[in-house]
Structure 1
Amino acid sequence: MRQGGDGLVSFPLPDLSGLPGLPDVPDDVGSLKALIDREIAALRADVRRRMETSPALASSPAHASSLGGRSLETFISGGPEPGEAPGGDDGDGRPCDMPGGDPWAGLYAGLSAIPVSAALLAPVQDETGEITDFVIRAGNHVRSAEWLEAPAGQVGKRFLEARPGAAASGLLAALIAVFTSGRALRGLTVDYTEERHGRLHRAPLLYYAAACDGQMLITWVPARSRTEILTLDAQHIASMGWGHWDLLSGAVDWSEGLHRIFRTDPQMPWSLTELCDAVLPGEVPVLAELITSVLAGEEPSWTRIRFRVFGEVRTLDLLGRPVAGTDGRPWGVHLVARDLTPQMRSRRRLAETRHETERLRQQAAAEQRVASVMREALLPKHTAELAELGLTVAAAYLPAEADAAVGGDWYKCRRLPDGRVLVAIGDAVGHGLDAVARMAQQRHALAGLAQTGASAGEMTTWLNELVCSDPSAMTATMITGHIDHDHVLRWACAGHPPPLLRRGNEVAPLPSEHLGPLLGLMPGYAYETAPVPLHRGDLLLLYTDGVVERRGEDITEGITSLSRHLSGNPGLSPGETVERVIADYRRTVHDDDACLLAIQVD
């Protein structure tokens, strides 16, 4: 041990080259806590051993001269040397530590060394002996707020004169209680308010006071300095906190931010071993590596560790730093924590959203593939068989959305074994695969009924009974008919817009006096069949309501517009006619899918 030129006493730096390294990093809480306890015990034992083997300060001649012949213990305590009368004597009858015979004079002189605002008060009593105020006998030059005068400038004043806000804030009553009860005041927070020069000022102050021998010493500090407030705000905004563990004394100091992260009582910060109890089992090796590195004097980088706090998993980034003494060994551990739990929650929610989005995308893609396959199977391709019967046919499916493959709309046009041509178009209510399934059911049912040789009205009646008998089914519209060898269309209608017939330059809907209700609406209803002779060059256009329905318009306006479109393009083939309708459909706003089936008699 040596004394430097600045008067500080320091230990010589030890040679650490021969010290054994820390043991292997433990992987369970019990082993980690045992390691921490061993390291702390070893540190304390080593420090005590070095203190015991170091030469005593009292034996140092330099110290003996600087202390005026008094031992270090008596110099610090202020007590007498062995054999010396208490208080000593400077030869004139006054105690050497009590100048002027005033027993408080030593305290007066020492107030300037107190780093916080301090004052010595004497009570002022009324005729009944009640304390009504205090007199400021001494004070130092520390100001607890910019607008508050230092206590040294208020010596001789009454306390209420120097601090007029003391009565309203309850401070005066608290000081009187200290003086009368003899119990010290420890950390009373006072919201001190005072009017100065026509302006109100306020400062939260923390007061301490103790009475002795008819006088009282009070000290006070700002309850929260501006730096502390900014630090607290920074910790809150950044979700950060810090903790300091004194390995020698066992004292632990946590910031408010760290208490907020671990939801602990501000008066009960955790020790290092208690901190280990909160770590998740799988994270123990990570925390162990951090702590052992700090205890070894290293400064590891940020380490991400998960803790369980009141049943909630919190993810923290920890940065450890050893606090080393003059002997080179860390006597304290400083940890800074950054709470990443909110960010991890956001990332988890984002990942879940992405996963759900991807699942929906895959589901939509699967539906598209299924619908595409069903479209190929359900929406027929036209062959030369129809041309042999003197008919030219073109058809199209018009999705309301560009990526839709098929919906509830359908058509059918095929040659039957008896030589007739089955013509049908329909619309099952709904969208998506459910509508596709109902469409497929109705279309396949019609294909089966067509093999019986029944009329269009009979097939529609039977199909209506099928839909009505299914409790899960929804309504649908349909037109079905046959074109025979003489090119006569015999058709039935179930709530569907009637086909348009273009003959030369004239276009008109087919007569629909026999039109029946929607499929699935009225069980037992008998649909009728009506004949329509077709001439050479006639073009018959069947369509679903999606072609003629426009947002904000009546469906009759859409049918009239489609009729004008056909009459304005005479002589176009079925394929060209369908292409023109498709172009107009894509230019306007539609909310529903649509089908077109154009049949021309050659």
Structure 2
Amino acid sequence: MPRTDDASPIGSGEHVSAPPDDVRTLKHVIEREIDALRADVGDSTPARASPGAVTADDTPAAVPRAAGSAEPGRGQDRDTHGRRDVADRGTRGRRGAAGTADDDPWACLAAALPAVPLATALLAPVWDDGRGEEGAAVVDFVITAGNRVRSAEWLEPLGLLVGQRLLAVRPGAASAGLIEALARVIRTGRPLHGWALDYTERREGRLRRVQLLCDAAACGDRILATWRPALTEADLLTGDAQKLVSMGWGNWDLLSGATSWSDGLHRIFRTAPGRTWSLTQLCDALLPEDVPRFAQCVRALLAGADTPWTRIRFVVGDEVRTLDVLGRPLAGTDGRPWAIHLVARDLTPQMRSLQRLEETRKETEVLRQQAAAERRVASQLREALLPTHSAELAEAGIAVAAAYLPSEREAAVGGDWYKCRLLPDGRVLLAIGDASGHGLDAVARMAQQRHALAGLAQTGADPGAMATWLNQLMCGDPTALTATAVVGYVEHHVLRWACAGHPPPVLRRAGGASLLPGDHAGPLLGLIPGYAYETATVPLEPGDLLLLYTDGLIERRDEDIEDSLGGLVRSLAGVGPLSPEETVDDLISSHAASGLEDDACLLALRID
């Protein structure tokens, strides 16, 4: 990039270099262009003659003064106690020898008051000793002149109240501190500039308040004072509008260096009222990556061209604020810009929301990918851990059907499990269980319990002993939590089974159905170390169908568990002599069609 120090001034007709990309160079460009503009304008602007200069054709004229009167607007000489000369005060305000208004400075001043656009009055002090001798205090003021401008809509113009005392027509002046403030001007000779006044008065049974700004100065032995609203209605509406839409604007006078900002711009850059930034100070707050964009905007304005909305980021305090900036140069008839006007719209809250939204979208995508991976793993685990029945069972005279029903459609497997297999000694192992939790953690616990049961079954122990050993394994593992299970064998048309906190199986026989008695049932696995589970025996007949299930099939928040079990028994009795596959399908249709609150497993076994 060519050095911007060698670039020709904007608007000169020569080639303009690329926008600078660092703050130091940008500030140098701005200062150079403003200096060139001031020099160019200064060379063609005549200087104002110094006060008191005398030309060849003019002679200074004497300023007429009334005899013995003081020059209006000048402070008076004071003694060591800060008091005015009483004798001198007594001679002030007298008319001149001619006796005309032109010779009376007070009359001249009073005649000029209607030209003042603010509420204005000339006030004479009222002393507590009547004359203002040493040690006297100002207790009030008399309105000697005024104009007809109202300082508030409900306050009468002071020009209509001439001759009356200020406290009589403005009774709230004392409590607001106005009398004391004006008295200080009399005592010290120091004027008031923008003195804030909260004026309150009771009018027609109502309290009225207005915020005013007072300017006052000693004028001879009197006070010339003006009042203006601290904020006009237009100011209030403009301020509210800027705050509502997060906007502000500022004006930079390139010739004088004066800068003015709206309240909205002060709010955006967190500066106190009256504390504005120059264009080079704005450069210091730029985010480095946005220096070229701001440089292009400012250089176009210095060349006299409008700029469109440009997104620029500034570092304000400890945060980055994003602004949309619109620029317009104020140019004279010669086309040269003498001031720059910028409008800024604060987009920081929106950008933060977009950033949070993007972060949420990324988090959601990560969770979606994790969930998809978990579903894939769980699906593979289901095939490995919950296989369908084998042909060996059919050869042994037992028909089996099973189903796994996740409560969430996208879930592949949880803590529910079943097992049905032919053992080497001819017995058929029959089991179903529910490990606590969901997701892969529950799958891991389910796999541990299922594989542990498969190993215990090789011992030839009865179901009660296997449940006891499984309970001991889980109680010794702090990560195992709890589980429920039904464990049993089918051998020679006899079911021998044990129950650990699980719903009892349902037996369908000859067109009827009933729950198997669960008097021997024990507590949940992993709950009570050393608990000995019992084994119950149930004879089976050809055509009998056993249904084992987990509680997700029957549990409903708005239904008692006993009623749910009764409904399951009635459903099984009403389906008739269906095959295990048809029975499972019918139960799924009647009990799970409307959705499940928990995962569920079904295992149907028929004795042929």
CA-CA distance at 1:598 after TM superposition: 1.0
Q: Does 1:413 align with 2:415?
A: no
Number of residue equivalences? 564
Name the structure 1 match of 2:255.
248
1:403 aligns with 2:379: no
CA-based RMSD of the aligned residues comes to 3.0
Query: For residue 478 of structure 2, what is the aligned residue in structure 1?
Result: 471
Which of 348, 373, 395 is equivalent to 1:366?
373
For 1:532 and 1:79, the matched residues in 2 are separated by 135
Q: Structure 1 residues 220, 21: closer, same or farther in 2, change over 3 A?
A: farther
Could you tell me which amino acid in structure 1 is paired with residue 394 of structure 2? A
Equivalent position SS for 2:171: coil
Rounded to whole Å, the distance in 2 between the matches of 1:252 and 1:122 is: 39
| Structure 2 residue 209 is matched with structure 1 residue 202 | yes
- Which secondary structure does the structure 2 equivalent of 1:169 belong to? coil
Which residue of structure 1 aligns with residue 4 of structure 2? none
CA distance in 1, matches of 2:516, 2:143: 113
Give the Cα separation in 2 of the matches to 1:145 and 1:438.
Answer: 81
Equivalent residue letter for 1:29: V
Counterparts in 2 of 1:186 and 1:545: CA distance versus 1, 3 Å: same
Displacement of 1:589 in angstroms is 7.1
> Deviation of residue 211 (structure 1)?
0.4
Instruction: Return the letter of the residue paired with 2:113.
Output: L
Tell me if 1:489 matches 2:495: yes
**Partners of 2:152 and 2:291 in 1: how far apart?**
47
Return the match for 1:108 from 77, 99, 110: 110
Structure 2 residue identity aligned to 1:37: E
Q: Partners in 1 of 2:57 and 2:177 — Cα distance?
A: 45
SS across alignment from 2:125: strand
- Asked if the contact 1:22–1:296 (Cα under 8 Å) also holds between the matched residues in 2, the reply is no
The equivalent of 2:18 in structure 1 is 24
Are 2:120 and 1:123 aligned? no
CA distance in 2, matches of 1:418, 1:196: 109
Could you say what secondary structure the match of 1:87 adopts?
Answer: coil
- The residue number in structure 2 matching 1:436 is 443
Aligned-pair distance for 1:29? 0.8
- Does structure 1 residue 597 correspond to structure 2 residue 603? yes
Contact 1:22 1:292 (8 Å CA) reproduced: no
Q: Post-superposition shift, 1:169?
A: 2.1
One-letter identity of the residue aligned with 2:512: E
- TM-score calculated relative to the size of structure 2: 0.85
Q: 2:18 & 2:112 partners in 1: Cα distance? A: 53
Alignment counterpart, residue 553 of structure 2, candidates 526, 530, 547? 547
After superposition, give the CA deviation of every residue in 1:532-570 in whole Å (9 maximum; x if it has no partner).
332111111111222333325443333333223223333
Cα distance per residue 1:132-161 (max 9 Å; x no partner)? 333333323322222223333333333334
Of the three residues 257, 273, 294, the one matched with 2:280 is 273
Q: Partner letter of residue 45 of structure 2? A: M
1:298 and 2:305 correspond: yes
- In the TM superposition, what is the alpha-carbon distance from 1:380 to its structure 2 partner? 1.3
For the structure 1 residues 170 and 398, does the alpha-carbon distance in structure 2 shift closer, same or farther, using more than 3 Å as the test? Answer: same
Task: For residue 592 of structure 2, give the secondary structure of its aligned residue in structure 1.
Answer: helix
Matched, 1:87 2:63: yes
- Give the gaps of 5 or more residues in structure 2: 1-9, 66-94
Match of 2:358 among 338, 342, 351: 351
Equivalent position of 2:509 in the other structure: 503
Shift of 1:47: 1.4
Mark the CA change 1:442 to 1:100 in structure 2 (over 3 Å): closer, same or farther.
same
Query: Could you tell me which residue of structure 2 aligns to residue 41 of structure 1?
Result: 35
Q: Deviations over 1:324-350 (max 9, x none)?
A: 123321111111111111111222222
CA distance in 1, matches of 2:583, 2:204: 94
For 1:536, give the aligned amino acid.
Answer: P
Structure 1 residue 195 displacement after superposition: 4.0
Please give the TM-score of this superposition, normalised by the length of structure 1. 0.86
C-alpha separation between the residues in 2 aligned to 1:21 and 1:210?
A: 56
Larger deviation: 30-39 or 340-349?
340-349
CA distance in 2 between counterparts of 1:507 and 1:197 reads 91
Cα 1:252–1:159 change in 2 (3 A) is same
**1:198–1:516 Cα change, 3 Å:** closer
Report the AA paired with residue 118 of structure 1: T
Give 3-state SS (helix, strand or coil) of 1:302's partner. Answer: strand
Shift of the 80–363 alpha-carbon distance from structure 1 to 2, 3 Å rule, reads farther
- The answer as to whether partners of 1:88 and 1:95 remain within 8 angstroms in 2 is no
Which ranges in structure 1 are unaligned for 5 or more consecutive residues?
1-15, 58-71
* Alignment CA distance shift 1:88-1:185 (3 Å): closer
Q: Is contact 2:553-2:592 (8 Å) kept?
A: no
Change (3 A) 1:378 1:116: same
Aligned residue for 2:577, secondary structure, equals coil
Match of 1:520 in 2: 526
- Residue 33 of structure 1 deviates from its aligned partner by 1.0
Whether 2:376 is the aligned partner of 1:382: answer no
Q: How far did residue 590 of structure 1 move?
A: 4.7
Question: What secondary structure, in the 3-state scheme, does the structure 1 residue paired with 2:175 have?
Answer: helix
- How far, CA to CA, are the matches of 1:352 and 1:167 in structure 2? 60
CA distance in 2, matches of 1:103, 1:511: 121
1:452 Cα deviation after fit: 4.4
For residues 497-520 of structure 1, the C-alpha deviation after alignment (integer angstroms, 9 at most, x for no partner) is 222222213333334454333222
Q: Which residue of 2 aligns with 1:423?
A: 430
